[in-house]
Amino acid sequence: MSLQKFLKDKKYHSIKLKRTVTNHFEIKAKINGVEGKFILDTGASNTCVGLNEIEKFSLETEDSEHKAAGAGTLEIDTQISKNNKLKIGKYKEKDFTLVLIDLSHINNALKKQHAKEINGIIGADVLEKANAVIDYKKKKLYLLNKK
């Protein structure tokens, strides 16, 4: 039995992944009904959107004591936004918390490599909640809605 059939039988939803020129997987997702471009990052603990995306995604934010850190960066100030709706393909989260960070350094690096800017990062919080399975060969992400 193929992985695809096995996961389909278990009620997983498949989402196509697009490999970027920077060798990341890009994924489309909706936050509060608005579509954006995200990088799938298994090493990111939280799903993040750029601080400049507050209006686009209709986010209500509050300051956070949490500091974000990434490869090659110092601590970054963050904000959080609670009670959001996240949709990736047929996968849905109704009461989702996002971390907002300055993504300009990431988008500047992407632009230098002639890649398109992103609105955010899909992190391990979503992948864990959705029991995610990544099929690297077929470039598919499988997510399971909780009942």
pLDDT digits (tens, 9 = 90+) for 1-60: 888 999 999 999 999 999 998 899 999 999 999 999 999 999 999 999 999 999 999 999
> Structure tokens of 110?
């992407």
**pLDDT for res 74:** 52
pTM for the full predicted model? 0.88
Taking the C-alpha atoms of residue 4 and residue 38, their distance in angstroms, rounded to an integer, is 23
In DSSP notation, 51-103 reads GGGTTTTT---EEEEEEE--TT---EEEEEEEEEEEEETTEEEEEEEEEEE--
Stretch 92-110: mean pLDDT: 93
> Structure tokens of 58?
């209709």
Taking the C-alpha atoms of residue 26 and residue 18, their distance in angstroms, rounded to an integer, is 5
Task: Give, as one character, the DSSP assignment of residue 119.
Answer: S
Across 73-100, b (16+ Cβ under 10 Å) vs e yields: eeebebbbbeebbbbbbebbbeebebbb
